[in-house]
Structure 1
Amino acid sequence: MADFDVAIIGAGAVGLAAGYACAKRALNVLVLEQAPHIGAGVSSRNSEVIHAGLHYATGSLKARLCVTGRRALYPFLADHNVAYAKSGKLIVATQESEIPALERLARQGEINGVEGVRWLSGEEARALEPQLNAVAALLSEESGVFDAHGYMAALQGEIEAHGGAVVLSSPFEGAHAQDGGYAIQVGGEAPTQVSAVRLVISAGLGAQDCARKIEGFPAARVPALHFGKGNYFALHGVKAPFARLIYPPPIPGALGTHYRRDLGGVARFGPDLEWVDHEHYSVDPARAAGFYETVRRFWPALPDGALQPDYSGIRPKLHGPGEAQGDFVIDDASAHGLANLVCLFGIESPGLTSSLAIGEEVADRLGI
């Protein structure tokens, strides 16, 4: 008999959401995390934005799971007393040539079933945000910001309240199929082996390495990993200029460098997109020049010297420079041939917004 019904590798937002979805189904859940605390990777280094679902291709996992996940997220946050602000988002055209991109977004949002989207003239946008430079804008009323760490703590609490366990400082060293499930090797200060009927890989930047450590996992099903670093700069010495999220039209591979006022009232800009070949999180102050240029398109009053390096994150992208933006990859037995195994690759934005829906998707893929 296996020690656990489900073992999940990775205690970021998506891994914890998968654990929550399985625990709600009365299964005995184990979540293993190599770091000494939850949410130490991709989940701790993002914008904490709740996306409405406008930007994602018709029929994609990103489109479906973002909309479903966002609709589930606000009630979860409210029920668990996790801080959030449904601030709304303005996606702005700062010149006439950008209006077609907004029109495409509006059509995509309608296809994706996104509610609360309105077209605004430049005058209407400036009535909402007087410092904004815009000739037109889309208002997404369902967008917002939230406390991602509080959210993950609530997910951990739910897993534990349902009898599951989240075990930290416990790196995944490998797994192989055995009668009744998987034998899982766990490293750390006290290496051990546990068994589980079902196994989920939700390891962010480490997902590919984890998949390669599963005996019999086909190498052809491990996608290439590209590090899409996003840098952030914070506004210093100036009051936050906007109440709402401010986004430009999307750029290839990302949503574009945007503005947000976090829950503490601090104004932050980012992320940009910097392709790197290894994991590092320093922010080069020289990148501020590109931020000034980008931000002043929608906020001309940005003073010189007001942007200071803040933090960075790395997206686990499945496409490289010049390649088409990809979808989430959620592989089950139909893809890799191993029963009771789900592997998640390329869970970048909007993975945080989508996390509750991804968790339900994982549970469904496991046949729970």
Structure 2
Amino acid sequence: MADVQTVVVGAGVIGIAIARKLARSGHDVLILEAEEKIAQHTSSRNSQVVHAGIYYPAGSWRAKLCVAGKTMLYEYCKGRHVPFEITQKLIVAVEDAHVARLPLLVEKAAANGVTDLVMLSAADAMALEPNLKCKGAILSPSTGIVDAPAFILSLLGEAEAAGAMLALASPLQAARPVTGGFELQVGDAQRTTLTCKNLINAAGLGAWDVAKGVDGLNPRHVPRPYFAKGSWFGMAGRAPFQHLIYPVPDDESLGVHYTRDLGGGFRFGPDLEYLGDSELEYSIDAEKADAFENSVRRWWPDMPQGMFQPDSCGIRPRIMLDGKTQSDFMFSGPKDHGIDGLLQLFGFESPGLTSSLAIADVVAQLMGENMR
């Protein structure tokens, strides 16, 4: 007899959403969190943007779960009075070469089921935002912002109301497959040992440490981590734009963009700096301010000079497969690695917050198919 039916490792937004879904479905659930508080990494170090689902490859997990999750998140927030705002977003072309990319983005979004984008002339875009300078734009009516901490706390409250338990300062150090489940060694103050039937690794940036502790898991079934660090800069004063402002994206990055929060604050970022698989490091290089300013000035030419100050920093748990950066979510279950009862989640970066409720539905489905 197992001590608990299902252990979810990681109390970020995705781990908590999974625990809520399973607990409400009748599972006996324990959440193990290595930190002393919930949501201390990717879940609390992001833009809090509710993404529409524009940029991701058609048919990818990120595309499907972003589009589905966006609707679910808005409906959830409406029903629970979690603060959010549909701010809308402008994707702006600041160079002639970028104007030609706008219809391609509209087509890409439509392939993902995002059919509400509106092409705008430069004049129309700048009429919406007088501080903006561009040569054309796309309006995304369904993009918004959410109070991420309030959303996460609401999910946790519902998970616990359904019987889920949360253990903080309790890193999972080792998992040994045994008959009918797993024996777990927890690195809490009591050095707890417990058993479970199902084990879900939703530890985000810590997913690789958890995977290393699973006895018998072949390393070839664990993708290489390729962490991507992004810094944000802010400034004092009144928000210069009401819409979110994103430049036409280049390569792997969406570019330095403008977001605001529900309290009236605003910031610019993130940039993109690969850390490989090195330690997590959240310092911000203040000397990057000039580069940020030059980037933003392309579409906000009257921006005050010398006002940028370091704001915050986040790290995305990107992955590499076959020597190439993988830009999709990865669910790794028993059919992949051969260990019954084990489901691992890798590469759950943006739009993880937007997609969290939809991700939880996928996990519940996979558990129904593969787990105990």
Question: Match for residue 351 of structure 2?
Answer: 350
Question: Match for residue 305 of structure 1?
Answer: 306
Question: Match for residue 264 of structure 1?
Answer: 263
Question: Match for residue 32 of structure 2?
Answer: 32
Question: Match for residue 11 of structure 2?
Answer: 11
Q: Distance in 1 between matches of 2:199 and 2:325?
A: 30
2:246 partner amino acid: Y
Superposition pairs of residues 1-368 of structure 1, within 5 angstroms: 1-236=1-236, 238-276=237-275, 277-319=278-320, 323-367=324-368
Q: Distance in 2 between matches of 1:232 and 1:199?
A: 35
Q: Per-residue displacement from partner, 1:238-272 (whole Å, max 9, x unpaired)?
A: 32110011001123222221101111111100111
Paired residue secondary structure (1:259): strand
Paired residue secondary structure (1:367): helix
2:348 partner amino acid: I
Q: Scaled by the length of structure 2, what TM-score is found?
A: 0.95
1:33 partner amino acid: E
Q: Distance in 1 between matches of 2:256 and 2:213?
A: 36
Q: Distance in 2 between matches of 1:235 and 1:163?
A: 43
Paired residue secondary structure (1:191): coil
Contact 1:7 1:30 (8 Å CA) reproduced: yes
1:177 partner amino acid: P
Q: Distance in 2 between matches of 1:331 and 1:270?
A: 31
TM-fit CA distance, 1:138: 0.9
Q: Per-residue displacement from partner, 1:160-194 (whole Å, max 9, x unpaired)?
A: 01011111111111111122211111112111112
TM-fit CA distance, 1:342: 0.8
Contact 1:341 1:366 (8 Å CA) reproduced: no
TM-fit CA distance, 1:98: 0.3
Paired residue secondary structure (1:327): coil
Q: Per-residue displacement from partner, 1:261-298 (whole Å, max 9, x unpaired)?
A: 11111110011101234311111111111111110111
TM-fit CA distance, 1:20: 1.2
Aligned-residue CA RMSD (Å): 1.5
1:305 partner amino acid: G
Where does the alignment leave 5 or more consecutive residues of structure 1 unmatched? Answer: none
Q: How many residues align?
A: 366
Q: Distance in 1 between matches of 2:200 and 2:115?
A: 32
TM-fit CA distance, 1:96: 1.6
1:259 partner amino acid: Y
TM-fit CA distance, 1:126: 1.1
Q: Distance in 2 between matches of 1:60 and 1:35?
A: 31
Contact 2:226 2:325 (8 Å CA) reproduced: no
Q: Distance in 2 between matches of 1:325 and 1:272?
A: 19
Q: Per-residue displacement from partner, 1:189-209 (whole Å, max 9, x unpaired)?
A: 111112221110011111112
Q: Per-residue displacement from partner, 1:214-259 (whole Å, max 9, x unpaired)?
A: 11111101111112110000122x3211001100112322222110
Q: Distance in 2 between matches of 1:81 and 1:184?
A: 38
Contact 2:20 2:160 (8 Å CA) reproduced: no
TM-fit CA distance, 1:323: 4.8
Contact 2:126 2:132 (8 Å CA) reproduced: yes
Q: Distance in 1 between matches of 2:176 and 2:129?
A: 56
TM-fit CA distance, 1:147: 1.0
Q: Distance in 1 between matches of 2:86 and 2:194?
A: 42
Q: Distance in 2 between matches of 1:46 and 1:65?
A: 18
Contact 1:252 1:325 (8 Å CA) reproduced: no
Contact 1:246 1:259 (8 Å CA) reproduced: yes
Where does the alignment leave 5 or more consecutive residues of structure 2 unmatched? Answer: none
TM-fit CA distance, 1:51: 0.3
Q: Scaled by the length of structure 1, what TM-score is found?
A: 0.96
Q: Distance in 1 between matches of 2:183 and 2:69?
A: 32
Q: Distance in 2 between matches of 1:163 and 1:337?
A: 30
Contact 1:253 1:324 (8 Å CA) reproduced: no
TM-fit CA distance, 1:13: 0.6
Contact 2:331 2:344 (8 Å CA) reproduced: yes
Paired residue secondary structure (1:231): strand
Q: Distance in 1 between matches of 2:18 and 2:249?
A: 29
Paired residue secondary structure (2:91): strand
CA pair 104-48 structure 1, distance change in 2 beyond 3 A: same
Paired residue secondary structure (1:196): strand
Give the 4+ runs in structure 1 shifted more than 4 A.
322-325
Q: Distance in 2 between matches of 1:13 and 1:251?
A: 28
